[in-house]
Amino acid sequence: MEAQMLAVLTRVTKEVFETMVFAPVEALPPCDTLPPASGPGVIGTISFAGSSSGVVSFAASLESAREIAGGMLGMSPAEVQDELPDAVGEITNMIAGSFRTQMADEAGAWTISTPNVTIGSDLSVRHVGAVARTVCPFVFRGHRIFVELVLTDPTRLPHAERQEARAC
Amino acid sequence: MRFLVVDDSSTMRRIIINTLNKLGHQDVLEAGNGREGIERLSNVGSVDLIITDWNMPEMSGIDFIRTLRAMDNHKNLPVLMVTTNAAKDDIVQAMEAGVNHYIVKPFTPDTFKDKIQAAMTK
Ligand SMILES: [Mg+2]
């Protein structure tokens, strides 16, 4: 299940960037935890619930987020100011929403939340309780950006099937 | 022609409005959720096409369309839904609520233009 989820998440992320940001991203192999962020960054999160439950999040440096927002809105990155949080929310929404749609045949249609966006410095996210986190890194214009799948359903902890930790 | 764009994302409203402008349409009203959409409509009387999101706070796109369809003056107003929700059950639910046209995000600019033009002519 996890491998399939990650394949779908990778595919929809590529599609969102090609069609809505007009910049392709290259997928790197999945890994276990987000590397510690240094400097200003953004994180968008959306929770889902149904046959599985968890969170899909999108993380990027502030600089990459400006380029992404600019691509979506047809603006130069330097012009992007107040538009940034909403654009990050909408990228997260399109990734999580397409993921939900593509998984619906297998998993039934989950309900998903509206996006939450955090902008700050040296951001990291901790989850309370048993969760399984997998990160899909991508290269966007020479910089890494991250889509993370967090499964909070305690009956499915796909990491238990795995022997070795995978560093990001 | 006058349009009403209902979406909680200002980014999506901007993308939609940019596309409408490129197609030569400048008369576009905006609302951030279904409840605001109903307010805009009651202020202006009516519009020629509504373009609405599904997932929004306060009043979702589906509840917005159900509300419109229960109103005598907006029963037949054409509605294009723009959403990532494209599971089979979603599409059935949207059609039952009274959606006329459907476009699934993400989309290419050309697909979006084609959908808007199709929605305006039918
Ligand atoms: Mg929305």
In-domain check, residue A166 = no
CA of A109 to the centre of ligand 1 (A): 17
Residue burial A115-141, b: 16+ Cβ < 10 Å; e: rest = bbbeeeeebebeeeeebbbbbbbbebe
The H or E element containing residue A81 is none
How many Å is the Cα radius of gyration of chain A? 15
Q: Number of folded domains in chain A?
A: 1
Reported as half-sphere exposure (CB side, CA atoms, 13 A), residue B68 has a value of: 33
Residue A75 lies in a domain: yes
Whole-structure pTM value: 0.93
Say what the pLDDT of residue A126 is: 81
Structure tokens, A117: 């966006």
Distance from CA of A16 to the nearest CA of B (A): 6
Instruction: Tell me which residue has tokens 């796909």.
Output: A158
Kindly report, residue by residue over B87-116, the tens digit of the pLDDT: 999 999 999 999 999 999 999 999 999 999
Q: Is residue A109 part of a domain?
A: yes
- For residue A132, the model assigns a pLDDT of 87
CATH number at residue A49: 3.40.1550.10
A138 is a domain residue: yes
Minimal Cβ distance to B106: which of A20, A100, A114: A20
> What is the tens place of the pLDDT at every residue in A15-66?
999 999 999 999 999 998 787 778 999 999 999 999 989 999 999 999 999 9
A112 found inside a domain: yes
- Cβ contacts from A onto B, under 8 A: 68
CA atoms of B89 and A10, how far apart (whole Å): 24
Q: Chain B residues with CB inside 8 Å of A13's CB?
A: none
User: Which residues of chain B are under the pLDDT cut of 50?
Assistant: none
Does residue A1 surpass a pLDDT of 90? no
Q: Do A94 and B105 touch (CB under 8 A)?
A: yes
Nearest-CA distance A153 → chain B (Å): 22
Q: Print the domain residue range for A86.
A: 2-161
CB A72 within 8 A of CB A23: no
Q: Which pLDDT does position B41 carry in this prediction? A: 96
The rounded distance, in Å, linking the Cα atoms of B93 and B61 is 11
List residues of A whose CB lies inside 8 A of any B CB: 15-16, 18-20, 69, 72-74, 83, 86-87, 89-90, 93-94, 96-98, 100-101, 104-105, 109, 112, 114
Q: Is residue A41, in this structure, part of any structural domain at all?
A: yes
Is the domain spanning B2-121 CATH 3.40.50.2300? The answer is: yes
Q: How confident is the model at residue A159 (pLDDT cuts 50, 70, 90)?
A: low
Q: Give the CA distances from residue A168 to residues A116, A138, A146, in Å, rounded to whole numbers and listed in that order.
A: 24, 11, 10
Instruction: List residues in chain B touching A: CB distance below 8 A.
Output: 8-12, 14-15, 18, 55-57, 83-90, 104-108
Question: Within 13 Å of residue B86, how many CA atoms lie on the same side as its CB?
Answer: 17
The pLDDT assigned to B53 comes to 98
**B18, B84, B92, B107: best to mutate for the A interface, most A CBs within 10 A:** B84
Whether residue A8 is predicted with pLDDT greater than 80 in this model: the reply is yes
Which of chain A's residues have a Cβ under 8 Å away from the Cβ of B12? 90
pLDDT tens for each residue of A66-117: 999 999 999 999 999 999 999 999 999 999 999 999 999 888 889 999 999 9
Contact B77, B47 (CB under 8 A): yes
* A51 CB burial (10 A radius; 0-12, 13-18, 19+): middle
